[in-house]
Amino acid sequence: MSTDRLDVVIFGATGFTGQRAVERIAGRNQAKLENVRTEVGKKVSKDFSEIPIIIADVADEESLKKMAQQAKVVVNCCGPYRHFGEAVVKACVASGTHHVDVSGEPQYMERMQLQYDEAARESGVYIVSACGFDSIPADLGTIFHERHFEGVVNSVETYLVAKGDGPGAAVHYGTWESAIYGLAHANELRELRGKLFKERLPAMKPTLKNRPIIHRAPIVRNAVCLPFLGSDRSVVMRSQRFLYETQKERPVQIRTYMSVGTYLNALLFIIAGAIFSLLTRFSIGRHLLLTYPKIFSFGLASHEGPPEEKRKNSKFTMWFQGKGWSEPLAEGEDQYKDPPTKKLITKVSGMDFGYGNTAAALLLCATTILNEHVKMPGKGGVLAPGAAFGNTSLIDELNKNQIFAFEVVSAKDDSQN
């Protein structure tokens, strides 16, 4: 990789997330890019007039190649990635350029791994998606949990508690659009995974079973909880599979849930989710969802996204409830005969998590590749964050920079009672 390249180029810098991640900027419109550069400079009281601007368009393959050839890492903020992500990945792999993004779209991420993992390894570049909220807390939170377990983890249950105070939407239209297309094409995952993961992971005992759809969880003050249907579990399992296949580590079983507070809220979530799911199955339904986001999201989504004050007041905690054993398996055995006796609770928390600190985490992932690629596995590949950054200082840096806080809450070993 040429040493005269820019360290980081942010593609999609005029978008909602891109504006919060500006360093070296790229996009389709010169005037809009210059305006972003000026406005961000005013916010932080710095002169950003010397930051280079690169014109590139996802519909112009040659412009993407020229952009990628000028960077060591492309930070891709141009979603939905199902529509716009592959062209950038392709250009980066061909140009020997690392690539990070904040996709939460399982079909896109797993398809990129299927199609570009071998080429990325041959090119010596890392392609890492899901580098923001909520997958960085979930995936690296699981790595953190394992690191502090002091034994063998059998299973982890995560519980997400998120709050945002103040009027206005909670998510940007791009996030809403990604969710619509992700659910509409969820049926693609079975065939895709059959091609990507040709061998099943070994069965871990005891099996971590799903909780009831509606249940109370003491770990979140006995609040009413539902399954969390985001990409967290698929991202974590990609990392766990990678660690099993490359380092023979026992894969952790994981289930993900979210707190909704009350039974009434749970009922409303289920009804709204059922309507949303039904509409995504038909073109007319998707058209309605995309054309009238405020109406069909009950004000949750908008083209403007959450106002700055609401973003800054938003906060989350993701709890990790793990079970396992203090001692490794006896030689020659492949399963434990006794039930898990050791327990550990950890958590990851943060403010302005959906966009502000997501952008900060995304950039920190990029600089981690620049500074610590020798600590990353192999010589490249298409990886989930936990697989890519598990042996780097990323968790410590996220803590130190107050982006996401990783903490041990409590530990207990019933075998010692």
For 216-245, the pLDDT digits (tens) are 999 999 999 999 989 999 999 999 999 999
Q: How far apart are CA 151 and CA 415, in angstroms?
A: 13
What per-residue string of b and e applies to 223-234 under the rule 16 or more CB within 10 Å gives b?
bbbbbbebbbbb
Sign (positive or negative) of CA dihedral 260, 149, 132, 79? negative
pLDDT at 145: 98
pLDDT at 23: 41
Place of tokens 């599979």: 241
Residue type at position 325: W
Distance, CA of 83 to chain centre: 18
**Residue 158 is encoded by which pair of tokens?**
């995560």
pLDDT at 44: 53
| Residue (of 133, 117, 137) closest to 125 by Cα position | 117
pLDDT at 55: 86
pLDDT at 272: 93
**Residue 185 is encoded by which pair of tokens?**
């094409």
**Residue 79 is encoded by which pair of tokens?**
């979603």
Place of tokens 């995309």: 290
As to burial, measured by CB atoms within 10 angstroms (0-12 exposed, 13-18 middle, 19+ buried), residue 19 is buried
Q: How far apart are CA 224 and CA 218, in angstroms?
A: 9
The model carries a pTM of: 0.91
pLDDT at 167: 76
pLDDT at 307: 85
Q: How far apart are CA 417 and CA 403, in angstroms?
A: 38
**Residue 101 is encoded by which pair of tokens?**
């993004």
DSSP codes of every residue in 72-130 = EEEEE----HHHHHHHHHHHHHHHT-EEEE----HHHHHHHHHHHHHHHHHHT-EEE--
Q: How far apart are CA 98 and CA 52, in angstroms?
A: 19
Domain 6-101 in CATH: superfamily? Answer: NAD(P)-binding Rossmann-like Domain (3.40.50.720)
User: Which residue ranges of the chain lie beneath pLDDT 50?
Assistant: 14, 16-24
pLDDT at 17: 47
The answer for residues whose C-beta is within 8 angstroms of residue 188's C-beta and 6 or more apart is 107
